[in-house]
């Protein structure tokens, strides 16, 4: 694409890196709908490094445990793991990213998520309002 080539040639200090900011991990500590037992946080980080990615985020449905494991596992490695989660609201899915796992867990602590970890009853706007209180940002996961 011509526009990408033009952007890459600009000398503005910007740097392009490979990233994947929407990864789900195995349901033990991860997303309820992932059945591949190889999708552990450690394997995800290692495979991302092997494939040349520089930034990733594990954004499991309504849980943060494996995101936290990945952040810790990546310390000292040539990759940035951004703490993240995918909130499954009744209005749609919302990706939330934070500067720290602590702030991400504070956000989740303010949400109403069912016991099965399949649905959050907060509205997307409410989730975004809560995220903004803890340095979080939101992106629609699967916009129409």
pTM value is 0.88
* Token pair for 33: 């709908």
Question: Which ranges of 1-144 does DSSP label H, i.e. alpha helix?
Answer: 2-9, 41-50, 65-73, 101-110, 124-133
Distances (CA, A) of 16 to 6, 44, 104: 13, 21, 26
Per-residue pLDDT of the chain (144 residues), as tens digits, is 466 666 666 677 677 889 999 999 998 889 988 999 999 999 999 999 999 999 999 999 999 999 999 999 999 999 999 999 999 999 999 999 999 999 999 999 999 999 999 999 999 999 999 999 999 999 999 876
Coil, helix or strand at residue 118: coil
Q: Could you write out the DSSP letters of every residue in 68-102?
A: HHHHHHTTTSS-EE--EEEEEETTEEEEEE-SSHH
Q: Report the distance separating Cα 79 and Cα 16, nearest Å.
A: 14
């Amino acid at each position: 694409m011509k526009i990408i080539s033009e952007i890459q040639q600009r000398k503005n200090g910007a740097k392009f890196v490979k990233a994947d900011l929407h990864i789900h991990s195995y349901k033990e500590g991860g997303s309820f709908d992932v059945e591949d037992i190889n999708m552990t946080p450690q394997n995800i980080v290692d495979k991302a490094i092997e494939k040349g990615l520089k930034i990733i985020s594990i954004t499991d449905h309504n849980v943060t445990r494996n995101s936290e494991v990945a952040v810790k596992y990546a310390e000292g490695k040539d990759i940035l793991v951004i703490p993240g989660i995918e909130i499954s609201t009744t209005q749609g899915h919302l990706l939330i990213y934070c500067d720290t796992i602590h702030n991400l867990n504070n956000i989740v602590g303010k949400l109403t998520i069912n016991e099965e970890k399949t649905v959050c009853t907060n509205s997307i706007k409410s989730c975004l309002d809560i995220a903004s209180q803890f340095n979080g940002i939101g992106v629609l996961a699967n916009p129409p």
